[in-house]
Chain A
């Protein structure tokens, strides 16, 4: 038995964490609330940019701080719309084939994503993933606190999360596959026996070529 671990944003879909967040910020209960949240996000933009460059975990934490005060109901109700309008149209053409091919070969399909669990679950249902490991917002009095429940799924932590998942399922990591588009996921790619990079940037492509990892494109026939 083997598993295929997929990073989601940029790998299976062309959007990143900012797209669903922007949707939530714009779609608030009133225009005033939306404006206020967008203004706060704009104020946080330099911090987000800096943290993305320095530390993927810090970026996730800064980003999800923008959700502070949003009600659980609103987030969950809007999740269907986020999925339909933001995520589903962004699924790469080849993503379904790759996931199907892994499933056909008996792999357990696991999505490992920095996105929020209630959105990733919808994508998992669509593509047929067996497990999801995604970030979870902390709620108090049915409102988001702006914090994430540990462990934060980002960067090097993904490697440990995958190791734990494989151990709990009795899988050998040597037989497992991992797919990502991001240099920050190199630890996750490095722990499995069959890593592959998907639409890499120049730095990741150089690394992939040096390590002789396959380089895939899921955005249509080249």
Chain B
């Protein structure tokens, strides 16, 4: 018996609506295709502010926040950056709600020496107007830019060595955070790979502390990023997190949101096509017609500037290792759909947005990370695609980059990818050169560009997916060159792509269509195996109970 989110198409089934970058396409999938939808949004908490106060006053594994505050102490509050959530949420953002309550407690307890740091790690700096959307005008007016600022991993005076793990991984973090009497971390957990020790240990670190886990050796051993116990990345981060916790008093506040990504006019995009009303069908046709005739920049504006109506579904506070299992459990509750049997061919649309292009174009390298990094990793147990299977993805793959945010990406795609697609070779031969490029470092520190090694990380991020899949066929590409650089084939239509896939998988391949976004993931049990064990429940039991 299939989960309600999993349906099998027949000859009368209507076409599926998929994203193709910032356009929508209707795709006629053959009868027998399995389509996996995301779960309906969990109900939002009725009184988010009360829930936040309760969590802060009833933490796991440590004293309540108010009991840890003393006049004259030095406090740093670190906050997740713009890479979560997608797209940015309607005001007030969950982080604003949490921060307002935390700041109120600091004031009530005479704590004046506090800084708020956006934990960007190697991501781009956030702009003032973006911070206003995320933290509200009141906080930005009061503290930006002296006491509210972006982390700078390249500031030689701004980083401090904390310690080294038994495996020789150095932990070097933001100096202000390390030297504080209390570090409060405000997290927004979009997917299960977020949060936990990754918040502080990655969000506030520098290059020396990223190298031990952001490399192709570790990335290849992640099965998957969304299943922390099976992620080598998470294993290294947890080791480093223990070193952090031994040196810094961290009070973590983790939050989860539901997957209500589309507001009313677009809400039907999360529905099964069979359930579209006549009005929704007409709206979809009108939308496809208009988007096809709208210039690319305007399409971007339309999609990127519409915030999502996400709702808070959970909030927990305390010591990271006690808090995070609760967060993971709620995440999986929202996302995980049980599915049995892998597919020969996976069909998916690549949307216009990723964690790394908020208010910018989804450039070719990010198309790759969406297909091989994110889409591939949306599983526990086993990937949706069989080993050696074929991915059919929809995107224009336009040779277009945001020159301010993605300056180093341009050189990476056009110079490094033109020479090699082998992650190990680029890691050994080119990563160091980029890491020392003064122009790119300047753009990262003072402009709004991702760090010069970030494009390498984007390629490594796809490494497990690349090792697993056979072919990737892009439908709808506006050029041949970029897909070829990425190692992909192209097809003019879905029917052509399917015919190409049949060359590998025979005349009756098992086809699965992943209907994302909104975000979802699968608990995959390969045919003939027993059901996937849910590691988050085991972790939760180890740290005691439900919220």
A: residues with CB less than 8 A from B are: 4, 94, 97-98, 101-102, 104-107, 177, 179, 194, 196, 209, 212, 214-218, 220-222
Chain B stretch 368-396: residues in CB contact (< 8 A) with chain A: none
Q: Which of A194, A215, A218, A220 contacts B437 (CB 8 A)?
A: A194
Question: Which A residues touch B25, using CB under 8 A?
Answer: none
Provide the B103-139 mask, 1 if CB < 8 A to any CB of A, else 0: 0000000000000000000000100000000000000
Return the chain B residue nearest A94 by Cβ.
B446
A-B contact pairs, 24 of them (CB 8 A): A94-B446, A97-B446, A98-B442, A101-B442, A102-B438, A105-B438, A106-B436, A107-B438, A177-B438, A194-B439, A196-B439, A209-B403, A212-B401, A212-B403, A212-B414, A214-B407, A214-B443, A215-B404, A216-B443, A217-B446, A220-B446, A221-B125, A222-B447, A222-B448
Flag if B403 contacts A98 (CB, 8 Å): no
Report the minimal beta-carbon distance from A131 to chain B, rounded to whole angstroms.
Answer: 17
B: residues with CB less than 8 A from A are: 125, 145, 154, 156, 401, 403-404, 407, 410-411, 414, 436-443, 445-448
Question: Which A residues touch B414, using CB under 8 A?
Answer: 212
Question: Which B residues touch A216, using CB under 8 A?
Answer: 439, 442-443, 446-447
Question: Which A residues touch B439, using CB under 8 A?
Answer: 177, 179, 194, 196, 214, 216
- Please classify the interface of chain A as helix (H, G, I), strand (E, B), loop, or mixed, using the class held by over half of its residues: mixed
Report the minimal beta-carbon distance from B408 to chain A, rounded to whole angstroms.
Answer: 8
Report the minimal beta-carbon distance from B385 to chain A, rounded to whole angstroms.
Answer: 34
Flag if A105 contacts B436 (CB, 8 Å): yes
Q: How far is the CA of A102 from the CA of B414 in the complex (A)?
A: 24
Flag if B446 contacts A101 (CB, 8 Å): no
Give the most central of B404, B438, B445, B446: most A CB within 10 Å.
Answer: B438
Further contacts, 7 of them, CB under 8 A, given A212-B411, A214-B439, A221-B145: A97-B442, A101-B438, A177-B438, A177-B439, A209-B403, A212-B401, A222-B447
Question: Which A residues touch B443, using CB under 8 A?
Answer: 214, 216
Contact A214 B440, CB 8 Å, known A209-B403, A221-B145: yes
Q: How far is the CA of A177 from the CA of B440 in the complex (A)?
A: 11
Return the chain B residue nearest A179 by Cβ.
B439
Return the chain A residue nearest B410 by Cβ.
A212
Question: Which B residues touch A94, using CB under 8 A?
Answer: 442, 446
Question: Which A residues touch B440, using CB under 8 A?
Answer: 214
Question: Which A residues touch B437, using CB under 8 A?
Answer: 194
Q: How far is the CA of A177 from the CA of B446 in the complex (A)?
A: 19
Report the minimal beta-carbon distance from B124 to chain A, rounded to whole angstroms.
Answer: 12
Question: Which B residues touch A107, using CB under 8 A?
Answer: 438
Question: Which B residues touch A221, using CB under 8 A?
Answer: 125, 145, 446
Question: Which A residues touch B442, using CB under 8 A?
Answer: 94, 97-98, 101, 214, 216, 218
Contact A97 B445, CB 8 Å, known A194-B439, A214-B440, A221-B145: yes
Report the minimal beta-carbon distance from A96 to chain B, rounded to whole angstroms.
Answer: 12
Q: How far is the CA of A104 from the CA of B410 in the complex (A)?
A: 24
Q: How far is the CA of A97 from the CA of B445 in the complex (A)?
A: 10
Question: Which A residues touch B401, using CB under 8 A?
Answer: 212
CB-based closest 4 A-B pairs: A105-B436, A196-B439, A101-B438, A214-B439
Q: How far is the CA of A208 from the CA of B156 in the complex (A)?
A: 29
Question: Which A residues touch B447, using CB under 8 A?
Answer: 216-217, 222
Flag if B441 contacts A101 (CB, 8 Å): yes
Question: Which A residues touch B411, using CB under 8 A?
Answer: 212
Question: Which B residues touch A179, using CB under 8 A?
Answer: 439
Question: Which A residues touch B446, using CB under 8 A?
Answer: 94, 97, 216-218, 220-222
Question: Which A residues touch B154, using CB under 8 A?
Answer: 101
Question: Which B residues touch A220, using CB under 8 A?
Answer: 446
Return the chain A residue nearest B437 by Cβ.
A194
Report the minimal beta-carbon distance from A114 to chain B, rounded to whole angstroms.
Answer: 22
Question: Which A residues touch B145, using CB under 8 A?
Answer: 221
Question: Which B residues touch A105, using CB under 8 A?
Answer: 436, 438
Q: How far is the CA of A222 from the CA of B156 in the complex (A)?
A: 20
Question: Which B residues touch A98, using CB under 8 A?
Answer: 438, 442
